[in-house]
Structure 1
Amino acid sequence: MGLSLFEGLTKSLAMTVLSEIGDKTFFAAAILAMRHPRKIVLSGCLSALIVMTILSASLGWAAPNLISRKWSHHITTILFFGFGFWSLWEGFTEDGEAEELAEVEAKLSADWKAEGDSSKSNFKSDDLKKQQRPFLTQFFSPIFLKAFSITFFGEWGDKSQIATIGLASDANPLGVVLGGIIGQALCTTAAVLGGKTLASQISEKMVALSSGVLFLIFGLQSFLSEAEIS
């Protein structure tokens, strides 16, 4: 059990770091931290990533209970190989870093412009505005909710989420959760503290190639190992 926990933690940690560095949510955290308090941005982004990691690992943990252990193991192996070749293809053929950074900047700039126009046209009293605020914003900062929602929906259906589901179905789910949370904390903290300068200096090509090699190693290891059929 201990070895399985450690194996799940290390695999999840390595996969998370290589998947999240230079990702859209990484750029979003870096850019948001340039305009808003870093602590609030960090707490919002990290909360979303922790929730997403737990949800993904829970789905992976439930998978062997829905289908046979043998089939879930084979599906996980195929996913690892698929993501490995996908990442290598992205690394060799795409110049995704500038495109993703520009896309995130454009999205956030449009949101900020819309917020600015809205605030200029709104002359209601503070008490009236407070009464009309959405329920969640009565308890959470709008900046926190924005960072949370951008990160959560940005990660939904992402390669790293699906890989976490597959990893949790074939490794210790608790180890996968712990490794994922540690990895997310490291990447998000680096994005928030390093800002756009750090994000723009990251080599997306090298990250994609490294993650591709890592996924292929996981796939090969999964292919060579026998699924434990209980």
Structure 2
Amino acid sequence: MLTAFTAGLTVITATELLDKTFFIAMYLAMKHSRWLIFSAATSALAAMTILSVGLGQFASFLPKSTVHHLEIALFLGFGLKLIYDAYKMPVVDNCDRVLEEAEEVVSKAEGKLVAKSTGTIWLEGFLLTFIAEWGDRTQLATISLAIDKNPLGVTAGAVLGHAICTLIAVTCGKMLCGRITERQLTFIGGGLFVLFGILAVFEKS
């Protein structure tokens, strides 16, 4: 369980920082209570994590050897894709551009709100984060980890990783954005997945 927890925590932290949900939370926190947005975004990411772990656990119905080979393929494939994506990213990261994209997403959503009470703002943060996370690299990462690792460990590690990243986003996201790039973090995330894939090759099927 400790291995699954550590894997979930490290991979999610590396891939969630400066992700699109990170910037959505950062922008919302500039307009509303940062702790309200933290609560909404973290709840949405926790819900998505539980769903993703559940999807990964469906693989347990497959033959053990198939699960083993599927795990290796997903780890290596996803890791190499992240490294390729990082290679294609600009060396100089434009945080202002990404933040403007998040602002556009939020503005469209807020244009449909009738009233901006605490409840509607929380729901807005929850839904925007949940929708943005669907099909995102961190969801795919969680599904991959949950295929052959302890589901409770993966869930706990991933939720904690999301919470840490969201806390950074709503408190000092802009400062971090100027010190580390999405390209660097994507390289790290890809490297971790390739490492997990290589280690999985030597595990008994």
TM-score by length of 2: 0.89
- Match of 1:179, SS state, is helix
User: 2:131 matched to which residue of 1?
Assistant: 153
2:200 to 202, 206, 222: 222
- Match of 1:141, SS state, is helix
Counterparts of 2:129 and 2:195 in 1: how far apart (Å)?
28
Alignment partner of 1:14 is 2:47: no
2:76 counterpart letter in structure 1: F
Q: In 1, are the aligned partners of 2:87 and 2:183 still within 8 Å (CA)?
A: yes
Counterparts of 1:88 and 1:211 in 2: how far apart (Å)?
8
Alignment partner of 1:166 is 2:156: no
1:16 counterpart letter in structure 2: I
Identity %: 37
Counterparts of 1:114 and 1:57 in 2: how far apart (Å)?
28
Alignment partner of 1:90 is 2:78: no
* Farther off after superposition, 188-197 or 217-226: 188-197
2:163 to 166, 172, 185: 185
Q: CA offsets per residue over residues 167-202 of structure 1, 9 Å max, x none?
A: 111110010001001111111101111133323433
Q: Unaligned 5+ residue runs, structure 2? A: none
Q: In 1, are the aligned partners of 2:28 and 2:106 still within 8 Å (CA)?
A: no
Q: Unaligned 5+ residue runs, structure 1? A: 120-128
Please, what is the CA RMSD of the aligned residues?
A: 2.5
- Give the deviation of 1:73 after TM superposition: 2.0
Q: How many positions carry a matched residue from both structures?
A: 205
- Give the deviation of 1:102 after TM superposition: 2.2
Counterparts of 1:9 and 1:196 in 2: how far apart (Å)?
28
Structure 1 residues 43 and 220, CA gap change in structure 2 (3 angstroms): same
Counterparts of 1:110 and 1:20 in 2: how far apart (Å)?
18
Counterparts of 2:204 and 2:141 in 1: how far apart (Å)?
19
Alignment partner of 1:78 is 2:73: yes
2:36 counterpart letter in structure 1: I
- Give the deviation of 1:104 after TM superposition: 4.7
Structure 1 residues 142 and 96, CA gap change in structure 2 (3 angstroms): farther
TM-score by length of 1: 0.80
Counterparts of 1:82 and 1:114 in 2: how far apart (Å)?
34
Q: In 1, are the aligned partners of 2:82 and 2:190 still within 8 Å (CA)?
A: yes
* Farther off after superposition, 100-109 or 187-196: 100-109
